Structure 1
Amino acid sequence: MPRKPSPGDESEWKSSLQRYVRLFNRTESEQNARDLSQYVADALHAERLQQRTDRLRERDLLRGAIPAGSETKAELIRVNESAGEVSVLVRLHVKRKMEQKGMYYMEERQETERLWLRRDGRDWTVLQVEPVVSERRPRYGISAQLQEQDSDTLLPEETESMLSGSAPYLNYELMPGFKRWKGGIPYRRELAAAYADRWWNEGNPSFELFDVNCTNYVSQCIFAGNAPMNYTGRRESGWWYKGRAGNRENWSYSWAVANAMAAYLSAARKGGLRAVIVSSADELQLGDVIAYDWNGEGRFQHTTIVTAFDSAGQPLVNANTVPSRHRYWDYRDSYAWTSGTKYRFFHIPDLL
């Protein structure tokens, strides 16, 4: 008869997990994956980790940036135990203090990993590590299949007045406070960045929270910077959000889907939210947007917003699917990054 897990088992595997977290933090601080790679009995992940660490070290050397300290905290999300085996889903909150040209800044991110551990005599071995690479998932929910079905994405005019979505649907045409801006509505970059820093690691309860939340989060930030919604009632057009009414999702694809937002910002228009595509990251300002095509295949899967700059004037960005705050813009420290990754840099004008 199989032996049931004992309290001693839990104490022992948690001790092994704690050691894993300490070695993870050392890897972040020293930019050397040797000790962690040797601790894990997963050759595939050891290679994956080494490649990421090498990219990070090379990039930071070119930037003239070095880690001045690192802290990693772990949160257990889910645990499945059996006699002699355990699998855990763990969230790692990483803080790295960076020094560059005599100045310091703090970058943060929260990564999620699945670990499988097995008892090996008196010890527990980390058999397998699987990073949860949420940035690679272009869809944002069960309704994503409707993205290609125009007939299901329209809001019938006769029912539109009956839909009562959650905040923050606003009709700017009815807001006289904006009427005085004959040249357009000022884009408040500092407000967009402040909102991004406030909600980088959690969801604003006034909005839906998606499994893949990066573009929804960036849209909220832009909206917080006074960008006017372009409400059309058609999910495949405009840039708008009304919330959920029953089972109906009342927001445009451009609000919540990375590729749709990139297409919307790329299109020419005279008023409202729009952007200019610039050639390099150092042309961006606070509140501007970067879209990421991980494989270079012409479809964008991730979106970030510029919230700060390093000592060299390069953007630091926030994101929300893998919560990130003041992360260096190129994402070479992400498992989603590939040698084929392409970027699109969007500068939002000062007047919308």
Structure 2
Amino acid sequence: MPAGGRARRDDKKTRKNGKSPSASSERLKKTISPADIRLNDKEDRQERSSEPHKPKLSSLLQSSDIAGTRGAILNRNWRSSIQQYINLYNQAETEQHSRVLTDFVADPIHGDRLRLRLERLRERDLYRGALPAGSETKAELVRVNESASEVSVLLRLHIKRRMEQGGRFYTEERYEYERLWLASSGPHWEVLQIEPVIAERRPRYGASVFQRTPEPEEAPGEEIYIMPSLPYLNYDLMPGFKNRVKGIRYRRDLAAAYADRWWNEGNPAYELFEVNCTNYVSQCIFAGNAPMNYTGKRGNGWWYKGRNGGQEWWSYSWAVSNSLTQYLSAARKSGLRAFETETAGELQLGDVITYDWNGDGRFEHSTIVTAFDSAGQPLVNANTVASRHRFWDYRDSYAWTKATRYRFFHIEDLL
């Protein structure tokens, strides 16, 4: 029989029996990851290596991947450990106790950090009379670096907490990032270390921006619009006419609606910063009809034009929490104006809170009021650590300390 005919017949048998190498490999891939963990295939693609090596834990971010079927089985096992971690994380959030998670993770430093955070959360909610009515946690693997026996992953956690207070329910949401290091121990994978990414503590610009330089009432170079002179009208003698109210009304409803629309993503009409909280809050205020104070100088005014030729065309007060705090604290006759209140309970929709985590006078985070709980306390939105309807004091954040100080700004109704 000719060799070509024999080859074609063997090929038909292989297809009929369904035993092609590609088919079996495809079946193996489908059993690797739990269904509710979404993977970034580009970050998680395995590369073949003829000599697997075992790097130290500290070198995991630079380590290469291992090859073959054994690598696929290891992947399946560490992903199961990640799935178990997510389930326990959700249980800890619901119960507001860390024990279920600290028994699973071999990291006493993070165990203490988590315990203190959940204790603060539990005490605060009890004081508010708010009870957790359910919690849901989803996770996405953003980045994976693996070797033969060790893996590091960057997790993006989406946490939803349903709260009951005074017979009313509301849902708060937030996104958190955590880095996990795992190592194989026989057939199992152990979580050795966890580092939460505390993005609220990362200022967008250097320390020079934090230098407190009071802004003059009308900074040099500001665009000042002069109204033309008008004849005087005595409206008391003309009841058919209504005196027009001066100024632009701040639309708090529009500011809150914008905040709820863009809380977990960036509006493509604006630059998306790595530290985006104040840029996001400024966008919300502007969406509420607050007029920009364009000066063309980054240290003055409150304005945004975008990026031109690689240059940043926006004021520090638009993008930096400490600068926005200074801008809202300064007195001015027109434009965006605010006054400080003593308590958060005096704020309204569209008002602003800034956060000084260490009590050193440097404000590093900004939020905007978007709702209220049944006791009238503000619930806020933020964007660097994306948060929606989160209780304003941030005691549930790893960024919070006993030295944390707040500034509460009520934006004027007429601007």
TM-score (structure 2 length as normaliser): 0.76
Match of 1:273 among 316, 336, 351: 336
The corresponding residue for 1:7 is 72
1:79-90 alignment to 2 at 5 Å?
A: 79-90=144-155
Question: Structure 1's 327 and 9: CA in aligned 2 closer, same or farther, altered over 3 A?
Answer: same
Partner SS for 1:336: coil
Question: Structure 1's 248 and 345: CA in aligned 2 closer, same or farther, altered over 3 A?
Answer: same
Partner SS for 1:45: helix
Gap runs ≥5 in structure 2: 1-50, 54-65, 212-222, 227-242
Match of 2:157 among 74, 77, 92: 92
Match of 1:334 among 382, 389, 397: 397
Match of 1:232 among 268, 289, 295: 295
Counterpart check, 1:306 vs 2:356: no
Q: Runs of at least 4 residues of structure 1 off by over 6 A? A: 171-174
1:92-111 alignment to 2 at 5 Å?
A: 92-111=157-176
1:163-202 alignment to 2 at 5 Å?
A: 182-202=245-265
Partner SS for 2:103: helix
Aligned AA (1:316): L
What is the CA RMSD across the aligned residues, in angstroms? 1.8
CA contact (8 A) 2:210 2:323 kept: no
Aligned AA (1:300): F
The corresponding residue for 2:406 is 343
The corresponding residue for 1:29 is 94
Question: Structure 1's 69 and 248: CA in aligned 2 closer, same or farther, altered over 3 A?
Answer: same
Deviation string for 1:31-61 (max 9, x for gaps)?
1110101111000000000000000000000
CA contact (8 A) 1:12 1:123 kept: yes
Question: Structure 1's 94 and 234: CA in aligned 2 closer, same or farther, altered over 3 A?
Answer: same
CA distance in 1, matches of 2:224, 2:104: 57
CA distance in 1, matches of 2:374, 2:209: 41
Identity %: 68
The corresponding residue for 2:127 is 62
Aligned AA (2:357): W
CA contact (8 A) 2:340 2:408 kept: yes
Partner SS for 1:204: coil
Counterpart check, 1:128 vs 2:193: yes
- Work out the number of aligned pairs and report it: 323
Partner SS for 2:371: strand
CA distance in 1, matches of 2:124, 2:402: 13
CA distance in 2, matches of 1:36, 1:196: 33
Aligned AA (2:396): D
CA distance in 2, matches of 1:209, 1:67: 33
Greater relative contact order (Cα < 8 A, sep 6+) = 1
Deviation string for 1:133-179 (max 9, x for gaps)?
00001225xxx578489xxxxxxxxxxxxxxxxxxxxx9969xxxxx
CA contact (8 A) 1:114 1:130 kept: yes
CA contact (8 A) 1:108 1:326 kept: yes
Match of 1:46 among 101, 111, 135: 111
CA distance in 1, matches of 2:305, 2:244: 25
CA distance in 1, matches of 2:276, 2:168: 32
CA contact (8 A) 1:294 1:342 kept: yes
Partner SS for 2:152: strand
Deviation string for 1:292-312 (max 9, x for gaps)?
000000010000000000000
CA distance in 2, matches of 1:148, 1:291: 14
The corresponding residue for 1:162 is none
Aligned AA (1:2): P
CA contact (8 A) 2:368 2:381 kept: yes
CA contact (8 A) 1:172 1:228 kept: no
CA distance in 1, matches of 2:192, 2:151: 10
CA distance in 1, matches of 2:207, 2:373: 39
CA distance in 2, matches of 1:259, 1:39: 40
CA contact (8 A) 1:200 1:325 kept: yes
Deviation (angstroms), 1:2: 2.8
Partner SS for 1:39: coil
Q: Which has the larger radius of gyration?
A: 2
CA contact (8 A) 1:294 1:338 kept: yes
CA distance in 1, matches of 2:244, 2:361: 37
CA distance in 1, matches of 2:129, 2:327: 36
Deviation (angstroms), 1:341: 0.2
Counterpart check, 1:114 vs 2:179: yes
CA distance in 2, matches of 1:315, 1:41: 37
CA contact (8 A) 2:210 2:322 kept: no
The corresponding residue for 1:215 is 278
Partner SS for 1:112: strand
CA distance in 1, matches of 2:141, 2:159: 15
TM-score (structure 1 length as normaliser): 0.89
Deviation string for 1:214-263 (max 9, x for gaps)?
00000000000000000000000000000000111000000000000000
Aligned AA (2:77): E
CA contact (8 A) 1:196 1:307 kept: yes
Question: Structure 1's 311 and 145: CA in aligned 2 closer, same or farther, altered over 3 A?
Answer: closer
Gap runs ≥5 in structure 1: 150-170, 175-179
